Amino acid sequence: MSAVAARATPLLEVQGVSVRFGALLALQRVSLEIHPGEILAIIGPNGAGKTTLLNVISGFYHPYEGRILFQGRDRTRLRPPEVAALGIARTFQNVALFKGMSVLDNIMTGRLLKMRSHFLLDALWVGPAKREELRHRAVVERIIDFLEIEAIRKTPAGRLPYGLQKRVELARALAAEPTLLLLDEPMAGMSVEEKEDMCRFILDVNQEFGTTIALIEHDMSVVMDISDRVVVLDYGRKIAEGPPARVRTDPAVIDAYLGVPHA
Amino acid sequence: MLGHATGGAHTQQALDPELDTFPKLVRRNATRWPRKVAIREKDLGIWQTYTWRDYFEQARLIALGLAALGFRRGDKVAIVGDNRPQLYWAVAATQALGGVPVPLYQDSIEQEMAYIVDHAGARFAVVEDQEQVDKLLHVRDRCPRLEHIVYEDPRGLRAYREPGLLGLDELVERGRKFGEDNPTYFDEEVARGHADDIAIICYTSGTTGQPKGAMLSHRNLIVTAMNAVATEGLGPDEEGFAYLPMAWVGDHMFSYAQSIVTGFAVSCPESARTVLQDLREIGPTYFFAPPRIWESILTGVMIRLEDAARPKRALAHACLRLAQDLERRRLRGQPRPLWKRLLLPLAHLLVLDPLADNLGFRRIRIAYTAGEAIGPEIFVFFRALGVNLKQVYGMTESSALISIQRDGEVRLDTVGTPLPGVEVRVTPEGEIVYRSPGVFQGYYRNPEATRQTLEDGWVHSGDAGFIDAQGHLKIIDRARDVGRLADGTLFAPKYLENKLKFSPYIREAVCVGHGRPWVAALINIDAGAVGNWAERRGLAYTSYTDLAQKPEVYELIRQEIARVNRSLLEDEVLRGAQIRRFLILHKELDPDDQEITRTRKVRRAYIAQKYAPLIEALYSDREHVPVEAQITYEDGRTATVRANLRIRDAETFAVAAAS
């Protein structure tokens, strides 16, 4: 898949992006490309700047130098809602669901950007509003079926075990029907079985919906199993990039993970 | 204790040659009730309905699709998946072409699947999804005759390029084309079908050895279904619920045979995890569950009750106690105090009816339990709720049904009287044998087993039991399981185990004692119920094994065993076989580990062998026994679990205290 993806024009390009928090350089001139249809893993030791990179892509932070192009157009300065409207959805490292709302309603919020109708019509639930809700509900139900969470449709999200909350978060991100899906540690804190399930769902999403996926992950076996390409960050720099098998044997990567002192 | 009972004359019932196979009956239904709902499935959160016309049309197209792939009469089709309308249609489609459907348990591991697919010589498989496709592809080299795998849900399968793999949609499309080119093909094939053709091969899980494929003819199933329908007064307006494995003859009888014969609708739940919610939405009038399902529903109720506020809990318990006491007295034919009878409507209003409604049982006219003996406490609980729960006895070899408790003749300890056309006898050795229109045609490619089971039309059930003065059949246990303690006391392990399993905290139990001085028990706790109990007490635990070995949990189980021992005093024959010592197992008994069958029957011989060191320890004076166990994951991989199990004495009761 990576071979096919490499020939196409990149879906997203990060060009020489640097991010600074006070004196701390979180990202230093990082460049990478995400190709349509691929699963890209971003790995690196703690504090390497992985989440910062995701936050830059999704518009939470703006780089002080460098550019971000999505589908060939510069959108370095966009804010999160505008990024989302472009078709980039994400999940968070710490689960960020509406705990008191049902799973169904949580996932429906993923459709908000696509809702058009008027609040008055919504309140009365007539005409276009009704048709629209049914349409959105149909999309959401397809995702519920896809992620096998039928049994918890009506359960308040806060009552679910952690692994399921992560799955609901993925469902909400999918509800936006994104072109690019950013997953920040989708498997953190999961049991082996939950991880296996999640891997399968990520692969299925990629294959079934054709969604391009960039994910941050620590579990190397997961990364090796599911990603087409891997980008390795260390101290805010990109130190390696390539297919998982090659990256794993890259001396710079081994150094970074084994903690060789930096000059 | 010899006996003989019949439910009427044994005759070869004549079937209308126009209506003597299931495809012919489906076609009749499509003409008679084109708009009536035949089958529902919850999909994408909505109940999708299909009429009898749809049922027939879909079955026809699938059949034509199979024909386009080169289906020949007599071909076997493996059917694997959760209950789905498409899979039921595939059964009808196979039969329409003179083929034989072979349903498999959807949770079978690869080896089991390979064995059955190969043994049946299936050329086709119609399966639900990627999970089943993967399993079949893995074992394909062991099933040389398997040519085509048709899947219903394409998810995750788009990139598969294996030869012979085909989506159901595409199959239907090909069928449509084939039908246009051969417009009379389908009707001709259906017309060639005959009542004595094999309609299905059901592989019995079997508590010993390899599965055996029981062949049932259309006549077997249709006549048995018609007899049961007539006896029980089932009509075309029943609502059934198809949620038990399609590979099990019970589901085939209730969700397929009876539904088609009578024309009533069945509903398939959305997924295995939503069964109880979907049950409530459908509110079936006709419902079937093996004891383990009734148990788990009861356990669910008890857990939720324990979490309720104290006044509510007290009220609920008081009403349940009242209703159960009355029901127990009624079943035993004892007088029922007037004041309790006067209070009963109030109990119904306040607790019982809302509870039944909550479970989806308000509309039930007839509910069955079968497959195993049900704990009397569980039975009484549901009857007290107002559910017309009745015991049924049968097995694969009898087309699912032998006897049913008639309305008004429901009793705790029997499985009712034989259905019309069924004759039941007890051999001098105490084994139940029967003869009926439903008696199977033999085991597929296993004449040796057929000879052992089938003798002059009589089937050896393998169950020990007797027929009482009223003609009711009473099952004691599996014939080979009934044993005697060293001093000669009668010991019926399953009877004890069922009593144990009434406790919400005990999920599974295995009693040993044959040839021993007394009875010992291996207990499986119910992770949900005991976990909840531990949480409420602030008892921390890390895993199932850890929870199982807590001294507090041992004390909890010890009390449950004391309750069972005390209740044994009521039974004159079995009161000597009280449980003396027990231990709690470190892992759940699992069909993947071959400890229980897929229908959750304990495989005693296997357990006796596998847990021999534990059983020896139970009969020693040791207080701990180390254990190391292989467990099998769903993908077939294995891992080892180590633990040091406690052994404790149980409280027993002197017989004199009872009299």
Whole-complex ipTM? 0.74
Pair B434, B415: CB distance under 8 Å? no
Asked if the C-beta of B46 comes within 8 angstroms of chain A's C-beta atoms, the answer is yes
Pair B464, B398: CB distance under 8 Å? no
Residue A185 and residue A71 in one domain: yes
A145 contacts in B (CB within 8 Å)?
A: 43-44
Asked if the C-beta of B48 comes within 8 angstroms of chain A's C-beta atoms, the answer is no
Boundary residue ending a domain (A177, A205, A223): A177
- The residue-averaged pLDDT of B48-54 equals 97
Q: Which one-letter DSSP state was computed for residue B352?
A: I
Q: How far is B637 from chain A (nearest CA, A)?
A: 13
- Does the beta-carbon distance from B44 to A145 stay under 8 Å? yes
First to last CA, chain A: 37
pLDDT tens per residue, range B283-330? 999 999 988 899 889 988 988 888 889 999 999 999 999 999 999 899
Phi first, then psi, for residue B155 (nearest 5°) are -55, 130
- Domain span(s) for CATH 3.30.300.30 in chain B: 483-657
pLDDT for B659 beyond 60: no
- Does the beta-carbon distance from B156 to A142 stay under 8 Å? no
A151 contacts in B (CB within 8 Å)?
A: 271, 273-274, 277
Residue A77 and residue A105 in one domain: no
Q: With CA atoms as reference, report the closest residue to A168 among A103, A93, A90.
A: A103
Residue A123 and residue A165 in one domain: yes
Query: How would you list the strands of the sheet with B100-104, edge to edge?
Result: B100-104, B76-80, B124-127, B148-151, B165-167
Domain containing A240 equals 1-87+181-263
The whole-number pLDDT of residue B180 equals 97
Q: With CA atoms as reference, report the closest residue to B506 among B492, B527, B491.
A: B527
Q: Which of A137, A142, A207 sits opposite B159 (nearest CB)?
A: A207
Lowest mean pLDDT among A112-126, A145-159, B67-81, B313-327: A112-126
- Does the beta-carbon distance from B271 to A208 stay under 8 Å? no
Distance CA B479, CA B475 (A): 9
pLDDT tens per residue, range B486-530? 988 878 888 888 888 878 899 999 999 999 999 999 999 999 889
- Does the beta-carbon distance from B271 to A150 stay under 8 Å? yes
pLDDT tens per residue, range A93-128? 888 899 999 999 999 998 887 776 666 666 666 677
pLDDT tens per residue, range B428-451? 877 899 999 999 999 999 999 999
The whole-number pLDDT of residue B634 equals 66
Lowest mean pLDDT among A22-26, B398-402, B548-552, B654-658: B654-658
Statement: B289-478 belongs to CATH 3.40.50.12780? yes
pLDDT tens per residue, range B587-626? 889 888 888 888 778 888 889 999 999 999 999 999 999 8
Distance CA B376, CA B369 (A): 12
Residue A196 and residue A80 in one domain: yes
**Total residue length of chain B:** 659
Asked if the C-beta of B155 comes within 8 angstroms of chain A's C-beta atoms, the answer is yes
| CATH number at B21-193+238-284 | 3.40.50.12780
Report the residue of B41, B42, B43, B44 to disrupt the A interface, i.e. the one with the largest count of A CBs within 10 Å. Answer: B44
Residue A18 and residue A82 in one domain: yes
Query: Which CATH number is A208's domain given?
Result: 3.40.50.300
pLDDT for B36 beyond 70: yes
Asked if the C-beta of A146 comes within 8 angstroms of chain B's C-beta atoms, the answer is yes
Residue A191 and residue A231 in one domain: yes
Prediction pTM value: 0.83
Boundary residue ending a domain (A138, A157, A177): A177
Residue A59 and residue A100 in one domain: no
Asked if the C-beta of B274 comes within 8 angstroms of chain A's C-beta atoms, the answer is yes
List Cα–Cα distances, B593 to A220, B306, B509, B536, B604, in angstroms. 31, 33, 16, 32, 13
The whole-number pLDDT of residue B207 equals 61
Residue A10 and residue A52 in one domain: yes
Residue A1 and residue A25 in one domain: yes
Pair A171, A107: CB distance under 8 Å? yes
Q: With CA atoms as reference, report the closest residue to B27 among B200, B187, B136, B155.
A: B187
- The residue-averaged pLDDT of A3-26 equals 81
pLDDT for A70 beyond 50: yes
Q: Which of B155, B158, B273 sits opposite A150 (nearest CB)?
A: B273
How many domains does chain A contain in total? 2
Report the residue of A137, A150, A152, A197 to disrupt the B interface, i.e. the one with the largest count of B CBs within 10 Å. Answer: A150
Q: With CA atoms as reference, report the closest residue to B407 among B231, B227, B229.
A: B231
Instruction: Please report, as a single letter, which amino acid is at residue A198.
Output: M
Boundary residue ending a domain (A123, A148, A177): A177
Task: List the structure tokens of B585.
Answer: 């197992």
The whole-number pLDDT of residue A117 equals 61
Pair A54, A90: CB distance under 8 Å? yes
Q: With CA atoms as reference, report the closest residue to B214 among B79, B75, B395.
A: B395
Asked if the C-beta of B488 comes within 8 angstroms of chain A's C-beta atoms, the answer is no
Residue A14 and residue A72 in one domain: yes
Q: With CA atoms as reference, report the closest residue to B104 among B241, B222, B251, B267.
A: B251
pLDDT tens per residue, range B187-241? 999 999 999 999 999 998 766 678 999 999 999 999 999 999 999 999 999 999 9
Report the residue of A143, A145, A228 to disrupt the B interface, i.e. the one with the largest count of B CBs within 10 Å. Answer: A145
Q: With CA atoms as reference, report the closest residue to A41 among A179, A222, A187, A223.
A: A223
Residue A207 and residue A228 in one domain: yes
Residue A232 and residue A253 in one domain: yes
pLDDT for B653 beyond 50: yes
pLDDT for B561 beyond 90: yes
- Does the beta-carbon distance from B271 to A138 stay under 8 Å? no
- Domain span(s) for CATH 3.40.50.12780 in chain B: 21-193+238-284, 289-478
Q: How far is B46 from chain A (nearest CA, A)?
A: 9
Indicate the CATH number of B483-657 among 3.30.70.520, 3.40.1350.10, 3.30.300.30, 3.30.1280.10: 3.30.300.30
Element (H, E) at A111: none
Asked if the C-beta of A74 comes within 8 angstroms of chain B's C-beta atoms, the answer is no
